[in-house]
Each structure stands twice: as structure tokens, then as C-alpha cells.
Chains A and B, each alone.
Chain A
Amino acid sequence: MGTLVEEIFSRRAGRPVRAGEIVLLDVDYIMSHDNTTPLAIKAFREIGKPVRNVDQIVIHFDHAYPAPNLLAAENQQKILRFIREQGIRHFYHRGVCHQVMIEEGFVRPGGVVIGADSHTVTYGALGCFSTGLGSSEIGAAWITGKCWFRTPETILIRLEGRTAPGVYSKDVMLYLAGLLGMDGATYRALEFEGSYIRNLPVHERLVFSNMSVELGAKCGLIAPDEVTIQYLMRETRARPPFDLFAAEHPRYERVVELDVSTLEPQVACHPDVDQVKPLREVEGLPIDEVYIGTCTNARYEDLEIAAGIFRGKQVHRFTRVLVTPASQTIYEKAMANGLIEVFLQAGCTVNAPGCGACLGRHGGVLAPGERAFTTMNRNFIGRMGSPEAEIYLGSPAAAAATALEGCIADPRKYL
């Protein structure tokens, strides 16, 4: 009974839970990566108690992997010592943590997963409550296997209709970011539903849950359905039985309704994710770097869209074009189906799966005065390197069109 988050919390707590209540819940998995694990280890050591269940711990190397400098290398060496010392089995360096969490089967409808990364909210599109926390809580959860949550009020986003060609879930989500603002859902849960969502494949649904945190949300949920189950069976190691559930007699704090059929391609402009405009208003703005990557938009289908636009063409000679598949699995499939060849022949640089450029660590750092167009989820000042650089966000199709022209370009003419 209740909203999706109330439903998941109630099932987990074994009693009806309503918005506003504080609950202490058992979590399924506790995720962290090379950037956030060291502080978790520090907290763990300071508490000084043993790990509750080592198989709940999942550690990824993705934020600066392979290590771009000595400090990062030493950092990873320390984490590896901890992994060996504790006998942690779930250790991955196969790409962006959130994509790998899904592929490896840690994400299930009705699950509860916490992670030391703000984009842990990504799993919500599969009906899994997941949220980002700081490192101390991760270190604490290794010991307790539990986490406290204030059950959030929910904002329902009802999306109807079908998007026009050249308009993707990224454009819809950016539009919503502009509408609600970057604190429009602080402390709240977002729930996405409507005919648009029901007909949407999971790789596009994931964009909504992933970017929920950019509006301040604790989670971004979509009710699990047949589409979810088929995706889990086809693309991940998760296996039945799967829990299917829906919101029942929910009470929403607010309902936002949108007909997506009239939307055109959108861009979030420097310097905030809610500075959203129709792409045509910034068309022609010169771009120094195009980055197709990250936990938002570097899945196989995203790469396929970009490759379709690049095929037989050359990217602009003064624009660095970086393609970073979200995971090794995606990289492999892109290779097998000839997408990587298309990228290379078009003059793109294909990077190893990981997060590097998204947080200005390596593999695409921006110089002062440079401007990037990327498929990322946030465009904070200094995010990709110099604080004097600018970041624009859009869909993979818009990024590919922009790469060809060296300035922000409408993808619809290349479809």
C-alpha cells in the first residue's frame, strides 16, 4: 500500500511504512568505488567491529581507472589490500560502477541497495530502492548490514505520449530538470509513470532514475513490469523469482504531468543542470570537446545512435571526440557489431570504460576557456577540469551531431 518507495520500505520492514517515518532497513548490497572506499575503510577501522557479511560488499574501480597518477595508484593499492584482507569477492574493474552493478545482478525489483556515489539512484528504474550515501555510512553498513532512512514524500512525474524522432529520454529528463530546478525534489522520492514510461525500453528509463539526484531526490523509481523482467533476463545476471509490485492507493505530495510528444531536443547550459533550453537556442555554439560516456548515456543503444550518425563521416578536426562505453560488456558488444570501428574511422578517441572525464580526473580534462558538450548528468563549474571551462549536456544523438559540426548541432538532420 502506498507509493513505490512506501511499498518497498513496507515489504522490507515487514510492516506498513508511511512517508515521514524513520526506518532502519536491512540492505542487500553496499557499493563503493575507488574514490569513496578509502574514507569508508577509515570509518570501518575506527569503529573497530567485524564485517557482518562480506558478500554484501561490492567494490568497483572506475573513477580513476587505470590509475592516471601515482596518488591514484597508491590509493587503489590500499583498497586492494583491504579487499584481500577481508576476502571481498565482489570486486570489479569492468566499467562505471552503476552499469556493472546492474549487469552483474546486484539490482532487483524490490531491492534495497546503498552506495557511496550520488548516482546510486540509477537502479530505481528497475524498481530497486537505491540511494547515495557518504563513506562513513558505507563503512558502518559493512558492519551493521543496515541503514536508516526517512521515508520520503513522493513527487509523481506522469509522462504521456511518444517522443518525436531525435528526442530521447535524456531530452525529457533535462526538460524536467529545467521545470523542477536542481532542488525541486530535495529529500523527496520521484516516481515516473504514464504511457511514455510504460513503452520505454530500460536503457532509456535508466536516464530518469540516474538524473533524479540532480533534482535533489533520494530515489527515482519506476514500477517494475514485463519490460523490466525481460531486460534483467537478457542483459544481467539477475534471475527469478522477481518481485512485481506497483503503487497502491498512493498519496503524492505533488503530481507533474507532461505530454512528451511536443518536446524538441533539449540542452542543459553552463553552469547548472536546470539551465535548460531547446537545443535550437544554442545551436552553433563552438565546442572543443564532445564526450559520449558516463552512467547516464553510454549504454550500447546510446553508442548505436552515435555510430549511426558518425558512419561514413568525419568529426570536426578541432573538436576532441571521446567515446567511453559504460562497461566492458558494452565495449565488447560494440566491438563485435562494428561500432568501435565506426568511431575510430570517424576520428573519435575510444577510452577504456570508466568515469574519468566526467569528474575531470583523466581522459578528457578541460582547459580554461574550453567548452564541452557531453552526455553526462551534471555540468557544475570545474566538474571536468578548469573552473573556467563550460559544460553543456544533451543526448547521445545531439552529442554526435555536435561532434561532426564542431558546434552545437541539431541531431534531427542526421537521422
Chain B
Amino acid sequence: MGRVWKFGENLNTDEIIPARFNITIDERELAAKAFCEIRPDFAQQVQPGDVIVAGGNFGCGSSREHAAVAIRGTGVKCIIAPSFARIFFRNAINIGLPILECPQATEIEEGDEVEVDLSRGEIHNLTQGKVYHTNALPDFVLKIVHAGGLVRFLREHDIEELMA
């Protein structure tokens, strides 16, 4: 069970982590600056297992993987949005940060308690007593997610096995 942190639409990577903080690849340092300019209390107050819910086109802008790494570093369990910018989508999957595309994400409110079942693609909104079914991730993407990210997948497998 996690608390929802709600963000608007078209949230860009500069808002997730401004470029000037990208000089480190240390996950904890990046996490400490997550959303620092648009939501200064976030990094301090977010709890492991919390969930980010946002409007469409989440993570647009730069290709910086630092953005996905910073969010993973805060302990956020999952990001839910109607759609994701494509590079952020890949980055999140590749580092093993689960994301769910859910058209009804906008119904979820700040502070709601939600439970996410990744394998079934279900979001249970305990506060509102609703269940949302999300777009399932393609099989080969699930292979990366289940391995814990692209790096871990490639440690054990050849890339051709993704398509097998």
C-alpha cells in the first residue's frame, strides 16, 4: 500500500531533476533533488512504497536517465499516468522502475492510498474504493521488468532472447 503523490501533465525531465544536478550518478544524491524546484517537500517526505500519479506525457524532454534513477532512488514503487514520453518510458523499464499506463489516472487524488498489482496490471484505489485495469506491457518489455531491468537481463541473456 502506498500514498499517492499527484503531479500534472507534461511533467518534463528538467522538473524531475534539473540539469545542473546531473553531474553525479549517485542514486541517493539524485533522489535528494527529485522535483526539488516544483515540489521542494517531495524528497524529504516521500516514503518507500509511495506511488506517483501524473497527467499525460510524463517525463517529456531530455533523454537523461538521471530522472528515472532519481525517482527510483526516492523509493517510489511505481509511476501511473495516462501516457509517458517515449524515452522516459524506456528508461524506467530499463532501470526496473515499474510504470503503468492508465487512462483513469487523473481520477486518483493526492494522498489516496493505492495498492498496485504489477503482474495483473491492476490498481486498487483503497481510498476511493475503485479498481483500475491498465494497459498491459508487451511480453518482451515484461521480460526486462521481471529481470529487474535491462542491465540485469543482459547479464544473464543475449539481447536476441528478448524477441524469442
Contact surface of A with B, Cβ cutoff 8 Å = 22, 24, 35-36, 38-39, 42-43, 46-49, 64, 69, 71-72, 75, 115-118, 120, 132-137, 139-140, 143-144, 146, 148, 150, 182-183, 186-187, 216, 218, 272, 359-361, 378, 380-383, 387
5 CB contacts below 8 A, A to B, read: A24-B159, A39-B25, A136-B149, A387-B37, A387-B38
Asked whether B69 is an interface residue with its Cβ less than 8 Å from the other chain, the reply is yes
Contact surface of B with A, Cβ cutoff 8 Å = 9-10, 12, 14-15, 18-20, 22-25, 37-38, 56-57, 60-66, 68-69, 83, 85-87, 90-91, 94-95, 138, 140, 149-151, 154-155, 158-160, 162-163
Report Cα–Cα, A64/B21, bound state, in Å. 12
Asked whether A183 lies within 8 Å of B60 as measured between CB atoms, the reply is yes
Residues on the B chain within 8 Å of A135, using CB: 65
- Tell me whether A380 and B159 are in contact in the complex, defined as CB-CB below 8 angstroms, given that A359-B19, A360-B19 are known contacts: no
Q: Which of A42, A144, A380 contacts B154 (CB 8 A)?
A: A144
Report Cα–Cα, A49/B25, bound state, in Å. 21
Report Cα–Cα, A72/B24, bound state, in Å. 9
Report Cα–Cα, A385/B93, bound state, in Å. 29
Distance to closest chain B CB from A69 (angstroms): 8
Residues on the A chain within 8 Å of B154, using CB: 47, 49, 140, 143-144
| A-B residue pairs, 9 tightest by C-beta | A134-B91, A183-B57, A134-B65, A359-B19, A132-B63, A387-B37, A144-B159, A71-B23, A380-B14
Distance to closest chain A CB from B19 (angstroms): 4
Asked whether B155 lies within 8 Å of A46 as measured between CB atoms, the reply is yes
- Tell me whether A36 and B65 are in contact in the complex, defined as CB-CB below 8 angstroms, given that A140-B151, A387-B38 are known contacts: yes
Residues on the B chain within 8 Å of A118, using CB: 61-63, 87
Report Cα–Cα, A150/B140, bound state, in Å. 11
Q: Which of A43, A359, A360 contacts B150 (CB 8 A)?
A: A43
Residues on the A chain within 8 Å of B86, using CB: 186-187, 216, 218
